[in-house]
Amino acid sequence: MPTPGQGGGGARSRRLGGWGFEGEGFPPSAELLAWLARRLGEPLGPFPSFDPARFRPPPARPLPEILAGSTDPLDRLAHARGQGLPDLLRLRAGTVPALPDAVLRPDDDGEVERLLRAAAREGVLVIPWGGGTSVTGGVNFLPGEAPAVSLDLERLSGLEALDETSGLATLGAGTPGPALEAALGASGGGRGFILGHFPQSWELSTLGGWAATRASGQESLGYGSIQELVAGLTLIAPAGRLELPAFPASAAGPDLRHLVLGSEGRLGVITRATVRVRPVPERMTVAGTLLPGWPEGLAACRELLQADVPLTLLRLSDEPETEVALAVGLGGRGGLVAPLVRGYLRLRGIHGSGCLLLAGAAGSPGAVDDTLERTAAVLQRHGGVSLGESPGRHWLADRFRHPYLRDALLDRGIATDTLETAAPWSRLPELAAGVRRALEEALAGDGEQVAVLCHLSHPYRDGASLYFTLFYRCPADPEAAVARWAAAKRAATGAIVRGGGTLSHHHGVGSWHAPWYEAEVGPQGRALVAAAAAAMDPAGVLNPHVLLDPADRLEA
């Protein structure tokens, strides 16, 4: 059986019922477990692990011959859900409510066209699949009478063309992050090229998925989010093909790229994209600084952005997240700040944990030094104390391993999930406090506590993203575990809407945010997107439960 969702990312096998690759992990330190126990109470016992021998898949429904594909039970299961917490809970417990009836792997655009036309004609639902890393229910199959297939784009992968003069590269939509950067790095003269799009899911997610969900990488401050990186693309739908050429800019009507970017498979299947690339920088450095508190950190970040300091990364952790990262450690390394240093920090005005800020710069050695010096001068005015490059080195080494922690914590009876939003600077303090309060109180009816971490990232001149991590005790019963997640998710989403934040800065709408979509764009905005979907997919077979579906799918 082909490795589910491997997408050309190498020989490593994807883990079924968990994040990432077999043989990889990120165990929590004893200090982190103790920190969680102090806030949540002792865990309720380990959550079940997936047992393939006990899995009993529902039979695949018959499909027309043209839509025949893999019906291997584990292949179908691997494509049934994304990587949100309830997906993991249901996969591990073997309670996934529905599976695709087949997994299709087209070889080229022509085959995608034939498959989509046939699906529309036969009333077969199609859910496009890139890396399967959606954390918003964006690739989930739900029970229903209509047959449904997963369209895995792993064979539409690789570098197709590189215009070195213009800095434009065309790649297949199924190209995962590591394969994409490897192809660019090996191309052209000198140091090669880089896209610079590094979401936390980078090892598994794909170019097409980034475009379809309007994703942002961790270094978007320097390289840009995907909407700035995509210059052109190809979209194939049951109604036909949309070819959007790569121009530096165009005033020829509304920019249709931005209609496709973030469309999450409702308008069609993205099969390739032309992206803006640049030479690999000579040096990339991330430095750490402690700020006295969250207000000082917010003010410092805003000043850096509005002064146009050319950073590639800026990430500010609140006090609880800083305590975990610096005092407790996440991966068995222990804390990054020695006890003897605490006295010095108190003398410098850092009481308690402070707030850790990571600032990254890339380019020539001289340019990097100049950027970090300008950054340090701003941070010092806000009471910052430099920690040097050690925190940045630790973060860079582990940033793609952090998702493995979720599986390891479930093994110990603790559930963890993330959510994010964005808002103007003027709203961020109240929004952060409101979402934190909603999450901390979400399970009070069950007598349970929720521990919450938050950091600011993806900053702009006018605002920034807030990224929350939550922990709660996870019961062994999967329905009870999912119900606790749903309660926290509803509470946080309500607080985001009331606080003037967006439903998503970079995870997308999917099916779990869809009931609130109209609250953000208004009825006419939703109607406009629905009309575009109807024009491209008149039969409504493409990913029907995302973006426009008003049903509450949080427990589906």
Q: If you average pLDDT over residues 263-291, what whole number do you get?
A: 97
Q: Provide the β-strand partners of residue 70.
A: 103
Backbone φ, ψ for residue 217 (5° rounding)? -90, 165
Question: Would the pLDDT of 30 be above 50?
Answer: yes
Q: If you average pLDDT over residues 49-74, what whole number do you get?
A: 93
Residues 6+ apart with CB under 8 A from 489: 417, 419, 512, 554
The pLDDT of residue 342 is: 60
Distance CA 439, CA 385 (A): 31
pLDDT digits (tens, 9 = 90+) for 139-193: 999 999 899 999 999 999 999 999 999 999 999 999 999 999 999 998 866 679 9
* Three-class SS state of 510: coil
State the helix-helix crossing angle for 294-306 and 365-381, rounded to 10 degrees: 130
Q: If you average pLDDT over residues 223-232, what whole number do you get?
A: 98
Residue type at position 450:
V
Question: Would the pLDDT of 264 be above 90?
Answer: yes
pLDDT digits (tens, 9 = 90+) for 206-224: 999 999 999 999 999 999 9
The pLDDT of residue 333 is: 47
Among 189-193, 426-430, 483-487, the range scoring the smallest mean pLDDT is 189-193
Residues 6+ apart with CB under 8 A from 366: none
Residues 6+ apart with CB under 8 A from 86: 482, 485, 486, 554, 555
The pLDDT of residue 332 is: 39
The pLDDT of residue 353 is: 77
Helices (H), 282-427: 294-306, 319-322, 339-347, 365-381, 390-398, 404-410
Beta pairing class for 283-291 and 355-363: antiparallel
Q: Count how many residues are written for the chain.
A: 556
Q: Provide the β-strand partners of residue 546.
A: none
Question: Would the pLDDT of 430 be above 60?
Answer: yes
Secondary structure of 227-267 as H, E, C letters: HHHEEEEEEEECCEEEEECCCCCCCCCCCCHHHHCCCCCCC
Residue type at position 326:
L
- Residue 418 near residue 402 (C-beta atoms within 8 A): no
- In this prediction, residue 11 has a pLDDT band, given cuts at 50, 70 and 90, of low
Question: Would the pLDDT of 1 be above 90?
Answer: no
**Euclidean distance between the first and final Cα of the chain, in Å?**
28
- Residue 222 near residue 520 (C-beta atoms within 8 A): no
More confident residue, 1 or 48: 48
pLDDT digits (tens, 9 = 90+) for 104-119: 999 999 999 999 999 9
Domains of the chain as residue ranges with CATH: 49-155 (3.30.43.10), 283-398 (3.30.70.3450), 404-498 (3.30.300.330)
Distance CA 534, CA 238 (A): 10
pLDDT digits (tens, 9 = 90+) for 286-337: 999 999 999 999 999 999 999 999 999 999 999 999 989 875 654 434 455 5
pLDDT digits (tens, 9 = 90+) for 346-375: 666 777 679 999 999 999 999 999 999 999
- Residue 221 near residue 315 (C-beta atoms within 8 A): no
The pLDDT of residue 350 is: 74
- Residue 403 near residue 203 (C-beta atoms within 8 A): no
- The string of DSSP letters for 188-212 reads SSTT-EE-----TTTTT-BHHHHHH
pLDDT averaged over the chain? 93
Distance CA 319, CA 492 (A): 20
Q: If you average pLDDT over residues 19-25, what whole number do you get?
A: 94
Residues 6+ apart with CB under 8 A from 44: 413, 473, 474, 475, 476
Nearest to 197 by CA among 215, 173, 174: 215
